[in-house]
Structure 1
């Protein structure tokens, strides 16, 4: 890890704070059907404890999101959660957080809460690359046909499944932006934007993307923005494949071809204007889909363009933070709003919810009654 990948506190401290509110990472029991035989009181108590732990985790995540919305403290938070707890709570987690990563091999849930600056920067950079691809796609030939099949996606999941051991478990990532061929399993290019203090370790993310896609992710672009100053950096990682002759095997490793090069100085000026972030058409999909000669077709973004995108992103972020919506263009004048009448489908949903609530209460009442009857019969036998 380089000096640019710093955090406000160590991962250990962050995990300690989480553990304090949600002690332990023991798996939460699956809430299945009620048993046919009356349950023991101790077993019922254990299920209640498991449910309580699950609720504690969800409450913790909700509180963390509310705090972040209030003070914009961080855009990236790591929470230790074992796989069974994650599977039990995945649906609720996805309701609270639109984007998150999960690595079952490390038991680590990584919550993404991107700022306006993050989203705007990643989106604009992605669209700049797409504009060049569309220009190529409007021409004739195989390269044009290939370029026309690249798509831009924000927040879509990437499941990294190419592990190197039998114990490896698929890793879920939700990159800030990705560009993917419509016939490819993995995106060719991934964009990640980070604040230095967040602990979003770009090098570790790049390594996972490259290694666990078997090198099909050919370019990982990392943008590192300093939180307290104006400086900003760009990095680029690519897969490096080396043939080991005496072992008759190929070694795959991430290669940092651009290492934290500054494109905005601490005082807010553009720097390294003459440099480019260089890609090729072949970077945008696996070799199984891209011909060798696609590597000779350049696609690039200048450092000056990166600077301009960040300036625009900062301006948008400041406007949002200052609550200056009245300065933005919008329709004027009050209007009476006429809402659509409730549809039969909406009424049915409401009725279903009420029915399910009654059924749920009936099941609980029966469970309590059966447990009591069971204890009563046991007392009679002892008598």
Structure 2
């Protein structure tokens, strides 16, 4: 993350970050190798595929970056609001993601459907006070930053930070209970370890991780149809395993790469199923009978496939400009320079003076231009008149 902050948002801060990692010219570059040269022109950034950047950062460097950000409110706000990134203290990597329009549209549709079903269950059980209270306290909580201790890191104060794609959290819980991640080609191999970190490093406070792997392939040039890849769902929950003479707590994958849409766009049989036990704190669930703890939300794979297809169609319309547009404004007001809202009265007055001076300068320049233009026109007119008189005099002399 440090190189990104140092180059991308440098104008927002004068913070000078020093890195503890020694520089060794003999060490191979941590950046990926440059692609082979090609005479074909390519887009620098694809609006279809989600972008991902991975950089090495030691735990002490990461902690220092966080401390430096605390001293720069503008830069801190930019990072918190605009950059979705994970930091893994064990692997010592920062992973910066920029999800695509397809990923964002798809995960939003899935979350809305799950929440709609939870609300329906809440209304259906309004007479059951305890159950209704638990159901009514479940919220969709977006993509919050989650800070976890890392049990596998060498340093005791090392922290792991995650930015999940979507979460569900109960009003009375400290942490989200359900995390949803949409994966793509660069991230797919990381999902099992990511799920393990969510569940184990949260000490089972995160109770369910849903991975939706949607392989999106680029359109062929001038082709109307997308070439979609296989889309699968995986689910992880807390579990136990025998290890020698002990029973140990583990993160267990209970659904493994279950296909909900084939590569040729056909939806498959099955459903994405969650239970109330996934969403609510165990202390609250202990007051309910087992049948109520196992109340389900269920999204058929046909519906998941429809959500994905709609997200892809929206992307195609955006790229082609084929959707509806509002009529352009007939006479839009020109943008005016406005002072920063945080300017003091004195600085605001100076800002107004500068704005007025610029306006006068522009007006004077326009006046000078008009004067010069009029002088040029007058000169051209006088020259044409003199030329005409010379021609008339020449004709008269010749005839005489």
TMscore range, shorter length = 0.5 to 0.7
Change (3 A) 1:350 1:87: farther
User: How big is each residue's C-alpha offset from its partner over 1:308-345, in whole Å with a ceiling of 9 and x where there is no partner?
Assistant: 11011111122223344xx3253554243387995794
Cα separation, partners in 2 of 1:195 and 1:165, compared to 1, 3 Å:
closer
Task: List 4+ stretches of structure 1 deviating above 6 A.
Answer: 338-341
What is the number of residues matched between the two proteins? 295
SS in 2 for 1:224: strand
Larger RCO, structure (CA 8 Å, separation 6 or more): 1
Aligned-pair CA distance for 1:127? 0.8
1 CA distance for matches of 2:139 and 2:254?
A: 25
Partner of 1:282: 277
RMSD value, Cα = 3.8
Measured in 1, the distance between the counterparts of 2:344 and 2:244 equals: 68
Counterparts in 2 of 1:129-278, with a 5 A limit?
129-138=114-123, 139-141=126-128, 142-161=130-149, 163=151, 167-168=155-156, 169-199=158-188, 201-228=190-217, 229-242=228-241, 247=246, 251-272=248-269, 275-278=270-273
Matches for 1:80-95 after TM superposition, within 5 Å: 80-90=56-66, 91=69, 92=75, 95=78
Structure 2 unpaired stretches of 5+? 6-13, 23-30, 32-42, 70-74, 218-227, 351-400
TM-score of the two chains, using structure 1 as the length reference: 0.66
Q: Which residue is equivalent to 1:318?
A: 316
Secondary structure of the residue aligned to 2:117 is helix
CA distance, structure 1, for counterparts of residue 327 and residue 135 of structure 2 = 39
Unmatched tracts of structure 1, length 5 or more = 1-17, 23-30, 33-46, 54-59, 61-66, 355-383
Q: What TM-score, normalized by structure 2, do the two folds share?
A: 0.63
Out of 97, 110, 115, the position equivalent to 2:95 is 110
The residue that corresponds to 2:297 in the other structure is 299
Structure 2 CA distance, aligned partners of 1:68 and 1:175?
Answer: 26
Q: How far does residue 200 in structure 1 lie from its aligned partner after superposition?
A: 5.6
2:283 and 2:98 map into 1 onto residues whose CA distance is 35
CA distance in 2, matches of 1:304, 1:159: 35
Give 1:29-40 correspondences, 5 Å limit. Answer: none
Cα distance in 1 for partners of 2:172, 2:112 equals 20
